[in-house]
Amino acid sequence: MEIQTSLRHPNVLRLYGWFHDDERIYLILEYAHGGELHRELRKTGHLSEKQAATYIASLTQALAYCHEKHVIHRDIKPENLLLDHEGRLKIADFGWSVQSRSKRHTMCGTLDYLAPEMVENKAHDYAVDNWTLGILCYEFLYGVPPFEAESQKETFRRIMKVDLSFPSTPQVSAEAKISLAGF
């Protein structure tokens, strides 16, 4: 909680404080009227290239800020991206985050968004957050994560091989596909 409390960026959900009783911890958070980006994505199926680019740009700026502060989020996914009353993206849920200048060894996060170094149980740094930018860009455009598979083993294999395919629908520009292939 201390990590999120210390962060001040327009695309990071503010944690103003917290308190607890015998059974629960209560967080005092900035209000994100628009809710989870995940809900919006499920409702629309996918985002336009313009909207996807806007969200990716906001997320990139927020992650650059976090990384300057030596914070690795380690669980960037649509459920942890909230929208405020103006539709501005906010990174939330810093439960897996760590503030460190050294590489980490804990495998954590969500299956479809894991970076190859986490899948291989190797040391990792802020690059695992950068990996999710490409994953999310694909998901925003196509409505599903790029390496989603029937089993965990198959998902891991697809991540390690960067087994990327581009469905024929929805229609995505050649420029966007080239950008995704370069992530």
Instruction: Give the model confidence (pLDDT) of 6-46 as tens digits.
Output: 999 999 999 999 899 999 999 999 999 999 999 999 999 99
CA distances from 117 to 101, 114, 171 (A): 17, 8, 31
pLDDT at residue 100 in the model: 85
Instruction: Give the model confidence (pLDDT) of 98-153 as tens digits.
Output: 998 888 888 888 999 999 999 999 999 999 999 999 999 999 999 999 999 999 99
* Residue 1 predicted with pLDDT over 80: no
Please state the rounded mean pLDDT for residues 172-178: 90
* Residue 183 predicted with pLDDT over 70: no
Which residue among the candidates 75, 112, 125, 129 is catalytic per the annotation?
75
What pTM did the predictor assign? 0.90
Domains of the chain by residue range: 2-182
List, as residue ranges, the binding site for ATP. 30-32, 79-80, 93
Q: Which CATH number fits domain 2-182: 3.20.20.70, 1.10.510.10, 3.40.50.450, 2.20.25.90?
A: 1.10.510.10
Q: Is 112 assigned a catalytic role?
A: no
